[in-house]
Structure 1
Amino acid sequence: MKLTDFTRYADAVAHADRDAPWALFDGDRDDLNIAHECITRHAVGDGRAAVRIAHADGRDEVLTFDAIAAGAAQFAHWLDANDVHPGDRIAFMLEPSLPFYVCLFGAMQTGAISVPLFTLFGPDALRLRVDDCKPALLITNREKAPMAREIDGLRVIVADDGLLDEIARYPATYASKTKANDLAVFQYTSGTTRELPEAVKHTHRALVTLMFAALYGTGIRPGDQFFCPSSPAWGHGLWHGTLAPLGLGVSTGTFAGRFDATRLMKALQDHRITNMSAAATHYRMMRNAGTASDFAFAIEKLSYTGEPIDPATLEFIERTFHVPACSMYGTTEIGVVLVNFPGADDFAVKPGSLGKAVPGQRLRVQAPDGSPSPVGEIGELMLWRRDCWETTKDLAKIDADGYFYHCGRADDVIISAGWTMSAVEIENTMLKHRDVRECAVIGAPDATRGLVVKAFVVSDRLPSPEFVRELQDFTKQRLAAHEFPRIVEFTDELPKTPAGKVHRKVLRDREAAAALASTH
C-alpha cells in the first residue's frame, strides 16, 4: 500500500519511513524531474483538469494537464533555442495563467531554475531579487514590463499571445534532463529580517520531501477537489497549493487578481471543492464578508497557515463548513513541520493549536539554558536538523498531550494577512523619503489581519492625512502593494536601547497594552 491509501493519524506515525514517499513518483533518488511528476505523466489525453483559476472579474478558467504539458514542452524547446542552459535562472512575474504554468514547468524540464516572483512587486523589491538571483530572463505581463526593463542588463519577455504563438512552433513533447539533486526552484520569502532577501534553493527531490508535510498538513489525497487561494509566488501557494496536489494527479484551484472573499466562496461552491488550504486571513475575510450563507459547500478538509486564527473566525469556520480548521506551521526555509492531520478521524484538533510534528520530524520547546521547557512554559521552538537543534526564531509552548502552541515571533518579522514582512526592509524604504528623519516599524494588533504594519515616524514636517498617504504610496511603489504602513504615528522621538538601537519591543508592548485596554 502507498501513503495515499492511509488517512488515520496512527497510520501516519506507523508508516513514517523516508523511503515511503518515493513510491508515489516515477523518478528515483538519481533521476527525477518535478515537471514530469506534476504534469507530463498525468497528461494522458483525457482532458482532465489540472488547475482551476478563479479570476477576480468572475471568470473561471480551467487548464488541463494536456494543455500545460504541451505548452511546457514547447517552452522548454524555446529556451533551448534561445541559449538558456541548465542552471540558468528563469524568473517570471505572472498571475496564475497558462503562461505561468508553462514557464514554471517548462523551465524545470530543461534543467533551468524557475524563480516565481510576486506580481505586485515595485521596482525596489524586484531589483533586490533580480540582483540576488541574476536571471537569464524575466517573463512578465505587458503592464509590468516597462518597470522591469528599467533594470540594466535584464532581458524581459512579455507573456502574451505572441509568446504562446511563438513557442507553438516547437514540438509538444520534451525529454526532461535533470537529476534528483539538481536545483529546480529559487523561492523567495515574502519578507525577511535581512536587508537583502535571499532565495531558498530547492532541488527536484524537494517534491518528494514535501509529501509528508502535504499529506498530513493539507490532508491531500487522490480524489480530492483541491483549492488554495494563496499566490503561487510564495511558498504555501507554490508547494502546497500547486506542486503537491499536481504531483499526486489531483486537480487544484487558485485565485488570480485582487482577492475577494465572496468570489472565493462562489468558486468553492461552483467547483464542489472538498479540500482547501488557505492563509488565516482568507478565512477572516470570508467571515467579514457576511455572504457565506449564500453558498452551499462540499468541504471535507480545511487547513490554514501563516498565523494563528482568532476564536471568532474558528467558530465561523465550524458553523459554515462543519469541519475543523487545521493549522499547519512552517517557514519557506524549513518547510511545514507541525500539522493537524486533516481528515484523520483519530486525531483531535485542538482550537488554536499548531498540532503535532510531521511524522519523521522532531521539535521541542527550549528554555534559555538549552533544556526542554516544562509543559505550559513558553520557550524557543527548536527543530532537530543536521544532527543538532536549530531555532525556528519563534516562541511556543507545549501542553500535556504533546500539542504545540505558537507564542509569538522571536525576531522582528511581521505576519499580516498571511504575508511575512520585514520591519527593517520597510523602515529602510521609508527612510529614503526626504521628510523622514527616523522611523520604526512594528506589527500592531488588528481584528481582521492579525497584525498590520504600523510606522512611528520622526519628521520635521507637520503631520497631516496627506503626509500619511504620501508615505504609504512611497513605500508601496518601492516594495510591494501589501508592504506599507497601514498606520502611521508621528512622534518626537523613538525609544532606544543603551546601544542606541531602536527598541521595537517597547513599541510592541505599548501597542499590545493599548489593544487590550480597548477591549475592556
Structure 2
Amino acid sequence: MDRLMAKLTDYTRYADAQAHASGDALWALFDGDRDALNIANECITRHADGSGRAAVRIAHADGRDEILSFDQIAAGAAQFAHWLDANDVQPSDRIAFMLEPSLPFYVCLFGAMQTGAISVPLFTLFGPDALRLRVDDCKPKILITNAEKAELARQIDGVRVVVADDGLLDEIMKYPATYAPKTKASDMAVFQYTSGTTRELPEAVKHTHRTLVTLMFAALYGTGIRPGDAFFCPSSPAWGHGLWHGTLAPLAMGVTTGTFAGRFDATRLMKALQDHKITNMSAAATHYRMMKNSGTAGDFGFAIQKLSYTGEPIDPATLDFIEETFHVPACSMYGTTEIGVVLVNFPGADDYAVKPGSLGKAVPGQKLEVQDAEGHPCAPGVIGELMLWRRERWETTKDLAKIDEDGYFYHCGRADDVIISAGWTMSAVEIENTMLKHADVKECAVIGAPDSTRGLVVKAFVVTDRAASDEFIKELQTFTREKLAQHEFPRLVEFVEELPKTPAGKVHRKILRDREAAKAAELTH
C-alpha cells in the first residue's frame, strides 16, 4: 500500500491508528473543508450516483423491510430544502421532527441541514410533557410528525405542525431534485436532546456541521466501520448513538446502514441481521440482553465480523452469550452526548486484544485518567473518578472507573451509583453483574436505599420468571455474598415485572432511588 495515498479507512490495525490518526487525515475523508462543509452533502448527496445503491435498510417491527437508496434520499432532501425556502425558513431556524425511521425522516433530517436550518430529532414515544418541554426550549419554526402524533403536537401553542404523509411528499415533488447547500463548517446543524425525565429537561447539545468530522474517530475506532461493511444499529436516531454512530457516520463513508422502526423486538432484529447478512452491528447493551433473553438466537445464522455496544456496561452472562452466538468479541465504546466517544476497543483490529467488560483505551488524540479525590492518578485496580483532558484542564465525566496494569479502563458506575453502607463502599454495577450470573435473574438494578442504622443499604430490584419467596431472596443474597464479599450483598430484594428505563434503554436508577427516598420520608412523618 502506498502510505502517501492511503486514507484512514484503509487501515484496520491498532498500531496504524496510533501512527496515522490526525485531524488532517480525518478531513481528507470529506469533500468539504474547514470553512465550507455540509452534513447532508457528505452523508447523502456525494454518494447519490444514479446507481440506486442502498443507503438505509429499515427493519420494521411488523416484519416489513424497507430499503432507501442514496438517490431517493438525496432527491427528497433537496426538494424538501426548496420547500423550506418557499415556506420562509431561514438559516438557524429549528425544524423539529418526531418520526420513526422512514423516507420522510431522512428527507427532513438532511433537507433542513442543506438550507442552514437546524435539525431537531425528537423521540417518537415522548408524551405531552416531554414534548412540550423540548419544543418550548428549542422553539422550532415547524414540527413535522406522523398522523398518529399530530393531535398531540397540535396541543402545543406557537408551533406549526406538518404531517409527514404522502401529501407532503407529493407537495415537495414539484421542486427541483438538486440543491446547493448554504452552510459553513461552523454553522449549527443539529440540536440533540439527551434522554432525561420529563421533570428535568436536559439542555440541548448543539452540534455544528464540523461535528461530523470529529465524530469519525469514534466511527473508525469505536464501531470499526469501513467501506464494504454491511452495518446495522437498532438504536433510535432520536438519540446520539442512533443518529451519529448509526446513521451519519456510516453514510458519510458511503456505507449502507440499517435501523429498526417501531416497538423493538429482539427476534425481529436477529432476523434482519440474518436476512441482510449484516457484518457490523453497534447496539445498546439492552439490545444484547434482550437478544439473550429471547431464547431465539439459535434459530438464525449470522455473518457478523464486528460488534460494538454503548450506553452502559454489559454483564458477564450477556458477554458470554455474545461470544457463543456471534463468535466475535463485544467491543465497548464509552462516551456521552456531551463529550462524544472517548474510549474504544478498536473492532476489527487484529493486533488489539479485547478484554471482556473493559471500556478499552483512548480514542487517538484523547487523554483520560482515573483520579482520586485530590486529583492524583489512581494506581491500577483502585476506583476513582474518570477525568478527561479538554480545554487545557481536567474535566469530570461524572463516572467512576479503574484501570488495569495494561492501561485498559473499566467502568465502575456513575458517581452517584456508589453505595456507602456502614462505612463500606460498594459498586452498584459490580453487585448487579454478580446477581445477573444467577440463572433465574433476567434483569437487575441495584441502588442504595435509606436505612436508619447504616445510612444506606443495598437494595436489588429483580426481574425473574421464578416465583418470589423468602427462600429465593436468601438464595440470591448468599449467591452474591459468596462471589463478592461478606458485606456486598442486597439486604433488600424486591421482585418487579420490569425496570424503569430511559427512552434510550438504560436502566433509570434515579427513579428507583427517588422512590425509596420518598418511602423513607413518609415513614419519618
TM-score, normalised via structure 1 length? 0.82
Instruction: Decide whether the 8 Å contact of 1:193 with 1:412 is kept in 2.
Output: no
Whether 1:167 and 2:172 are equivalent positions in the alignment is yes
Counterpart of 1:94 in structure 2 is: 99
Q: SS at the partner of 2:23? A: coil
Partner of 2:25: 20
Match of 1:286 among 287, 291, 298: 291
**CA apart distance, 1:76:** 0.2
1:412-466 superposed Cα distances (whole Å, 9 cap, x missing partner): 79xxxxxxxxxxxxxxxxxxxxxxxxxxxxxxx875455489999xxxxxxxxxx
Aligned residue in 1 for 2:520:
494
SS for the counterpart of 1:186 is strand
Is the CA contact 1:455–1:488 (under 8 Å) kept in the aligned structure 2?
no
CA distance in 2, matches of 1:358, 1:221: 17
SS in 2 for 1:170: coil
CA drift at 1:481: 11
1:370 aligns with 2:348: no
Unaligned 5+ segments in structure 1 are 414-444, 457-471, 501-520
| C-alpha contact (below 8 Å) 2:146/2:164 kept by paired residues | yes
Does the C-alpha gap of structure 1 residues 487 and 95 become closer, same or farther in structure 2, counting only changes over 3 Å?
A: farther
Report what 2:250 is aligned to: 245
- Of 382-391 and 403-412, more deviation after overlay is shown by 403-412
Q: 1:455 to 1:282 in 2, by over 3 A?
A: farther
Deviates more, 1:371-380 or 1:269-278: 371-380
What's 1:44 paired with?
A: 49
* Aligned with 1:407 (options 412, 417, 432): 412
Match of 1:140 among 145, 151, 154: 145
CA distance in 1, matches of 2:206, 2:235: 20
Cα 1:488–1:210 shift into 2, 3 Å: closer
Tell me, what secondary structure is at the counterpart of 2:318? helix
How many residue pairs get aligned? The number is 451
CA distance 1:122–1:449, shift in 2 (3 Å): farther
Contact 2:343 2:362 in 1 (8 A): yes
Q: Does residue 189 of the first structure (1) align with residue 215 of the second (2)? A: no
Q: Which segment drifts farther, 140-149 or 70-79? A: 140-149
Query: In structure 2, what is the equivalent of residue 108 of structure 1?
Result: 113
C-alpha distance in 2, partners of 1:320/1:158?
A: 42
Structural mapping, 1:471-510, within 5 Å: 493-494=519-520
SS in 2 for 1:304: strand
* Residue identity in the other structure for 2:52: G
- Could you tell me how far apart the structure 1 residues matched to 2:310 and 2:347 are? 13
Letter in 2 for 1:189: T
Contact 1:218 1:277 in 2 (8 A): yes
- C-alpha separation in 1, matches of 2:303 and 2:230: 10
- 2:204 is aligned with 1:178: no
What's the counterpart of residue 68 of structure 2?
A: 63
Over the matched positions of the two proteins, sequence identity in percent amounts to 81
* Residue 410 (structure 1) shift: 1.3
2: CA distance between counterparts of 1:169 and 1:221?
A: 37
AA aligned opposite 1:494? A
Higher normalized contact order (CA 8 Å, seq sep 6+, divided by chain length): 1
Give the counterpart of 2:58 among 50, 53, 61: 53
**CA RMSD of superposed structures (Å):** 2.9
Residue 149 in 1 paired to residue 175 in 2? no
The equivalent residue for 1:300 is 305
Q: Residue by residue, what CA displacement relative to the aligned partner does 1:62-109 show, whole Å, maximum 9, x if unpaired?
A: 000000000000000000000000000000000000000000000000
Letter in 2 for 1:164: L
1:222 to 2:203 alignment:
no
Does 2:357 align with 1:352?
Answer: yes
CA offsets, 1:109-144, max 9 Å, x none?
000000000000001111111111111110001111
What's the TM-score, normalizing by structure 2? Answer: 0.81
Tell me the alpha carbon deviations over residues 254-282 of structure 1, each in whole angstroms, 9 at most, x when there is no partner. Answer: 00000011100000000000000000111
